[in-house]
Amino acid sequence: MKEIPVLLYHYVGNYPAEMMEDGLSPETFAFQMNFLSENGYSAVALDRAVDHLTGKIKLPPRSLAITIDGGYQDALTNALPVLKKHQFPATLFIAPEFIGRAQLINGQPIQCLNWNGVEEIISCGYETGLLAYEGRAIRAQNDEESIRRSILKSLELLKRSSNVQVRYCAFKEGVPQESLWNFLQELGFQAVFTQCPTNQAPTPAGIGRIQIDDDDHNIFLTKISDTYLFFKDKPS
């Protein structure tokens, strides 16, 4: 199977330093998107990335996909205007349990979208997916049944609060075992996204995304390179 880079962003804002381990400043995000636009990169929707992975289509070189996790308000205020400027599609993975609330990052609050914000994102043509298990990782010690219950609860919240139809599921880390993947397919999910390394070849049951969380442009160039893509899921 052949894949393209699927970039993973979290929050895009000017937050206190202790919050920025996984975050990116709006200025850096805008710089990166401008670089991609001016240097022949094509951002594609996730369905095209999955179709390329499974051999249904063949995308040209320098194709990539963009995802943003967390459902934070800054996705709407800071990230989407930049994406719209460059006509880049993106998928925002949201945890329904936190919509309309604030979450804590290293003890500091960060505001999540409300449901009106989610609807605005959809109305602008951007896709939303499910950030499963309340944004937690799949761990060996986790009970699969608790993950299933959490996903069903999330889907019920989505059904009650929004008209959004989710096709893709994301976990903070970890790849579902076959039984959980079968369960997700029964619910209508077409692919699962997680953070690399997955330590296995990419399939729709687990596609490792490349986290972008550093202002250093050379690191960004490394992470979008074919070499990084080749090695990203290999065991260390």
| Complete domains list, the chain, with CATH | 6-231 (3.20.20.370)
Tens digit of each residue's pLDDT (9 = 90 or more) over 199-229 = 999 999 999 999 999 999 999 999 999 999 9
Query: How many other CB atoms sit within 10 Å of the CB of residue 30?
Result: 18
Q: Which helix (H) or strand (E) holds 182?
A: helix 178-186
Q: H-helix or E-strand containing 155?
A: helix 144-161
Cis-peptide into 176, omega within 30 deg:
no
pLDDT in tens, 110-127: 999 999 999 999 999 999
Rounded to the nearest 5 percent, the helix, strand and coil shares of the chain are 40, 20, 40
Return all residues near 25 (Cβ < 8 A) that are at least 6 apart.
Answer: 12, 13, 14, 215
The model's pLDDT over 41-67, given as tens digits with 9 standing for 90+, comes to 999 999 999 999 999 999 999 999 999
Structure tokens at 56: 């249904």
CB burial of residue 134 (10 Å; 0-12, 13-18, 19+): middle
CA dihedral 201, 202, 207, 212 (to 10 degrees): 70
Q: At residue 12, does pLDDT exceed 70?
A: yes
Read off the pTM.
Answer: 0.96
Query: What SS3 state is found at 111?
Result: strand
